[in-house]
Amino acid sequence: DQQVKQNSPSLSVQEGRISILNCDYTNSMFDYFLWYKKYPAEGPTFLISISSIKDKNEDGRFTVFLNKSAKHLSLHIVPSQPGDSAVYFCAAWDSGTYKYIFGTGTRLKVLA
Amino acid sequence: GAGVSQSPSNKVTEKGKDVELRCDPISGHTALYWYRQSLGQGLEFLIYFQGNSAPDKSGLPSDRFSAERTGGSVSTLTIQRTQQEDSAVYLCASSPAAGGTDTQYFGPGTRLTVL
């Protein structure tokens, strides 16, 4: 049973436009969420995080929004750049089991 | 400073053989995690270490999988009698401490192929 879901396996966006990557979770006890970016043949790298006490966190071109009532978070990238093309993983910290639970990833392609 | 390193980067083995995967975490990081990513899947948690101890081994898929960490540093993940379904990329990550707010730093992974 997938506790963290990324229902869009892929997304294509034109350079300069906004990229919106979505993530849904099922466990209301998750209290910390992270986004990682992964290039081919490399390990994931941390991008941005958000605590459940917030509903928005911004870092440059990247903003993460959290809607606790809907158990939904999203990552906005604006403006999108070709170098943003990668697989993006959403992850949740389960403080009950002391584990990070990862989604299956969304492959973003930014078209020049 | 140096990041997380893993070796080998690629491993091809025959079904039934044992393999050992190595992870060198960032110096000073007390928490170390092993994940695997099968084709088309997300990152599947396997095990984590806090220092040399593994509080939670529930993610290990079967008793053919084992892991150890010595000296609070290097960790090895051993898969005995490998099966074709063990083929995946095995990722190691470390963080300063075990906890949700501490960023995990990932290594490049070991791609294991079991023929």
State the Cα–Cα distance between residues B85 and B77, nearest whole angstrom.
Answer: 16
Nearest CA of chain A to the CA of B68: how many Å?
18
Option in B48, B93, B100 nearest A95 (CB) = B100
Q: Which single residue is written with the structure tokens 């992850």?
A: A91
Option in B41, B43, B106 nearest A45 (CB) = B106
Tell me which chain A residues have a C-beta less than 8 angstroms from the C-beta of B107: 43
Tell me which chain B residues have a C-beta less than 8 angstroms from the C-beta of A106: none
Interval B4-50: pLDDT, tens: 999 999 999 999 999 999 999 999 999 999 999 988 778 888 998 98
Is A27 in contact with A94 (CB distance < 8 Å)?
yes
Q: What is the pLDDT of residue B100?
A: 64
Question: Which tokens sit at B87?
Answer: 């083929």
Tell me which chain A residues have a C-beta less than 8 angstroms from the C-beta of B104: 46, 100
Are A98 and B56 an interchain contact pair (Cβ–Cβ within 8 Å)?
yes
pLDDT-based confidence at B1, cuts 50/70/90?
low
Q: What is the pLDDT of chain B when averaged over all its residues?
A: 91
Tell me which chain A residues have a C-beta less than 8 angstroms from the C-beta of B105: 46
More confident residue, A12 or A40: A12
- CA B66, A32, A103, A64: dihedral to nearest 10 degrees? -150
Nearest CA of chain B to the CA of A107: how many Å?
11
**Segments in chain B forming alpha helices (H):** none
